[in-house]
Amino acid sequence: MALQVAWFLLIGVVLTVYVVLDGFDLGVGIWYPFARRDEERRALLASVGPVWDGNEVWLLTGGGALFAAFPPVYAAVFSGLYLPLMLLLFALIARAVSFEFRGKEDAAGWRKAWDAAFALGSILPAFLFGVVAGNLLRGLPLDARGDYAGGFLDLLHPFALVAGGLGFALFAQQGATWAWMKTEGELTDQARGWAFLSWGAAALLFVAATIWVLAGLPHLRENFLALPVLWGLPVAALVLLALTGWAVLTDHSGRAFLFSSLTIVSLMATFGASVFPHFVRASNDPRLSLTAYNSSSSALTLEVMLVIAGLGVPLVAGYTIWAYRKFRGKVRVGHY
């Protein structure tokens, strides 16, 4: 049982790091179409260019860990959420290609095409990540084999759309505060305005999602009622979101990015505390739910994988820290 809990926590930590890091470069892509000049668009690309691919390593790590430690969960999630996850994957691919190809030609049409790919490849994942999270919070209909028993349109229920909007707003906030912190001149002032707009949207959607959870999804309160100290997690998220707005209003870009990042961390922790031990809650019959206890690999597999993770994750973390230290400071336009 301890091994299953350890892997639940490890996957949660890895995905949280991904959301914080890739959150800002997806967020930069959300605001990218609003840059006024080509020089500003190149500056936005340069702000994330050295680190975006390293950020996505954390998503691959989380997906690989889920596959190795909880194979039935991996199968259920990637079959039940096949269409939104494939849209997300193709969007991320288009976004990655746009980084490499935009600067290969100077023709305006060429650059506009890759600009569109970069923007759409950022906007779609930011929304779809929230939709996936909303469905996992609400629960999915599963059959006796643990397979998804609904259709694509069933995934687009109102709560999932609210969660998608909240995820989109948080990514936009993360990207705006990053761009504000990393750029210079008029673009810096523009990014501060983006930060304020996205913070306002995130605050409204956070309140809406919270009311919905408290009023309509009582199963998400079970762990909090059993262990009241967990209420500190959503309270921390609310306080940190308020501090993000304060930092924006008082013109502190570094603090705004820090508080925005910590808001995401606290919301991810709240998500984990709400669903544990479930990975996929069966909305039609709780007995069909996929949990950390009934869907894990063998104890030997978990032990071996934990040793591998203990060696590999610190290496990835060390490289990530080195990359951010290497490219700290304001950006230069570069070859984009």
Q: Is the pLDDT of residue 336 over 60?
A: no
Q: Cis before residue 277, ω within 30 degrees of 0? A: yes
Task: Grade residue 9 by pLDDT with cuts at 50, 70 and 90.
Answer: very high
Task: Grade residue 328 by pLDDT with cuts at 50, 70 and 90.
Answer: confident
- Distances 316 to 58, 304, 319 between C-alpha atoms, Å: 8, 18, 5
pTM of the complete model: 0.93
Q: Write out pLDDT tens, residues 190-232.
A: 999 999 999 999 999 999 999 999 998 999 999 999 999 999 9
Task: Provide the pLDDT for residue 332.
Answer: 66
Of 84-88, 241-245, 305-309, the range with the lowest mean pLDDT is 84-88
Task: Provide the pLDDT for residue 105.
Answer: 75
Nearest 10 degrees: Cα torsion 21, 26, 30, 33: 110
Mean pLDDT of 246-253: 94
For the chain, list the strands marked E by DSSP.
278-280, 290-291
Task: Provide the pLDDT for residue 334.
Answer: 53
Q: Write out pLDDT tens, residues 52-102.
A: 878 888 988 998 899 999 998 888 888 777 888 888 889 988 888 888 788
Angle, helices 71-80/82-101, rounded to nearest 10 degrees: 80
The residues, any chain, with a CB within 8 Å of residue 333's CB and separated by 6 or more, are: 39, 42, 43, 46
The residue length of the chain stands at 336
* Closest listed residue to residue 187, CA positions, set 7, 30, 37: 37
Which residues is 290 bridged to in the sheet? Answer: 280
Nearest 5°: phi and psi at 283? -75, -20
Contact 300, 284 (CB under 8 A): no
Q: Which residue has the higher pLDDT, 275 or 286?
A: 275
Mean pLDDT of 309-323: 89
User: From CA 218, how far away is CA 319, in angstroms rounded?
Assistant: 42
